[in-house]
Amino acid sequence: MKQTNRNKDIFFTSNISCDSISRSYTHSFSSSPDNSTSRSSTHSISSSPPQSRPSTPLHTFSESMMEENIDNAELLITKWSLETSTGFAASSSLFYDDRREAKDFISCAKDLQRAMRFFILPENSNPVLLVKSQNLMEIAMKRLEKEFYRILSDNRDRLDPESISGHGSERARGSTSDDFDEEVDQSSDEEEIQRVSNSINEVEQVGTVAMNDLKMISDCMISSGYGKEVVRIYKIIRKSIVDEGLYKLGFEKLTAAQINKMDWELLDFKIKNWVYAVKIAVKTLFLGERILCDYVLTSEMSRESCFTAITKDSALELFHFPELVAKGKKSPEKMFRILDLYDAISELWPEIESIFSYQSMSNIRAQAVSSLLKLGEAVRAMLTDFETAIQKDSSKALVPGGGIHPLTRYVMNYVSFLSDYTVILTDIVADWPLPEHTALPESYFDSSLGTDDEGTSSIVLRFAWLVLVLLCKLDGKAALYKDVPLSYLFLANNLNYVVSKVRGSNLRFLLGEEWISKHELKVKQYSINFERLGWSKVLSSLPTDPTASMSLDATKECLSSFNTAFEATYRTQSSWVVTDSKLRDEVKVSICKKVLPVYQEFYDTNRATLSGERNVEALVRYSPDDLMNYLSDLFYGMKVSGSSSSTDNSSRHSSSSH
């Protein structure tokens, strides 16, 4: 009998002599619990002549059964041999053409395993039948190797990770890696398909059958000692699917140099695409591969080896991208994208830890953690830079009319957007307290919030401090106005804007209602100061007792003083602005309540005295209704055109009509 070494190539077969049985048999049953017995038995066959056997019947019942099993297996296995002269086996698919025969083929391979175990024992030694069984096993394994490759290749679309992650996990949990006997003795594939079709569509049905076939083949080959062939084919096919999946998601490997040179618009797009891609990659692509790997492969070692080879490189590159971004140039506009990256990894961490749980994939978990740490460091650095930028703002340009300063808008919009990331920021700044010299007065935040939670308290202090830095800066900018009433109006406008931003965002829950109430009172106080200083001349021009009788000259002098003061005040404040409509109405109503009632009484009391005077229109320029109209036009920030004469003409016309 010719001796040949066993060739692992799928397209070649070989015969094995008695002298090579020891090596082949040890390979075939490397996963068997009886390895120690097998090795000693193999050694006795390959190095010693058959021992003399006691006087027994020529064939025992068990030996006859084994011989019959070998003969039956030979008929089916040689039919599907890849070297068959008819060419039928080479061009056909065992699992596609006849599923019942495919199941019988697997049973034959199992029968050969039993026969080889039987004839390797010293008391049953039969080298001829053992060699025959091994040769048939070689042919069967080459056939199954080709079928395994074909099913994986032909079902790339049906075994896509999305379908697998959607229903494969339930399918896998419902199956067990029981003894091969139980797998073969299950109900027919037609019944299995019928059961599955009740819950999944036709494409998924085909995928489920393919998964079952792959599992059936891998179980058979691994238990027969051909696990390396299974792993090799599985790695080649499935790794290409993972790489293709990431490519379709738009992920590309970038270097630190490429990221640093990239325009922000392009990098912003890359980051948004990564956030989208990583969620699908983890929850669908990698999860689907893990489910398929765990289901198809019986051996834990094979599972780990395959899944690591398939996903490790891609996963490392994927989770390395955020770290590269975090190490790049930092600027305020990048803050929110950095937080998006941090949020994505944090949200996916349980899945990352579960999917990449193998020890050989610890560096993937470590990379995800490293990216989180670097992103956290970047956020803290940018928060520090943001605070420093507020403090160093040196702009001395005055906002026309005491309106909202650009710094106020920028800072509060930025901070209110940041408050949407409270949960993430709480994690980032939990162990990052404010420096001692930035200790906040209690009045700047609601002490009832976050006192029991160190992390929450830290983020509350951080936001309260940023707002306080802004308010202090606004105090300095208010001092730049030479007109004191206008400086108070500026403070009222800007603080009211700050409060409205706090109330309309998550800052409300961080700083608390107490903080809001205290600062609303400050807005009101600024408004009172503005009215007191801005309208003091108008109010002082009116008599203390407007109902008291006055001489004609005194009345004329009082009216002249009022006209002069009102026109000067109106002319000055007509270009001032109160940006918030509610605050504007409150300010105008307050001024009207102080000016109009006094002027109305003075006007009514002295109107008869002035009725006989010439040029009465020049003296009584404003009726109470005129004043109401003028006051209603204030604080829109539009300068009244013309000089005081235009105001005089308008008032005269209005007075004459009245």
- Determine contact, residues 520/501, Cβ cutoff 8 Å: no
The residue behind tokens 């790794």 is 239
The confidence score (pLDDT) of residue 157 equals 73
Q: Strand pairing partners for 188?
A: none
Q: Can you tell me the distance from the alpha carbon of 181 to that of 108, in angstroms, rounded to the nearest whole number?
A: 12
What digits encode the pLDDT tens for the residues 444-489?
544 444 444 555 578 888 899 999 999 999 999 999 999 999 999 9
CA atoms within 13 Å, Cβ hemisphere of 605: 19
**pTM, rounded to two decimals:** 0.73
Q: Can you tell me the distance from the alpha carbon of 642 to that of 639, in angstroms, rounded to the nearest whole number?
A: 9
What crossing angle do the helices spanning 507-534 and 581-610 adopt, rounded to 10°? 20
- Determine contact, residues 534/485, Cβ cutoff 8 Å: yes
Q: Can you tell me the distance from the alpha carbon of 174 to that of 152, in angstroms, rounded to the nearest whole number?
A: 22
The confidence score (pLDDT) of residue 447 equals 46
What digits encode the pLDDT tens for the residues 179-199?
333 443 444 445 544 443 443
Total count of residues recorded for the chain: 658
Cα Rg of the chain (Å, integer)? 44
The confidence score (pLDDT) of residue 329 equals 87
The confidence score (pLDDT) of residue 89 equals 57
The residue behind tokens 């990564």 is 274
Chain-centroid distance, C-alpha 359 = 25
Q: Can you tell me the distance from the alpha carbon of 45 to that of 19, in angstroms, rounded to the nearest whole number?
A: 9
pLDDT below 50 — which residues of the chain? 1-58, 85, 167-189, 192-203, 445-452, 640-658
CA dihedral 627, 629, 630, 635 (to 10 degrees): 130
- Determine contact, residues 355/290, Cβ cutoff 8 Å: yes
The confidence score (pLDDT) of residue 505 equals 93
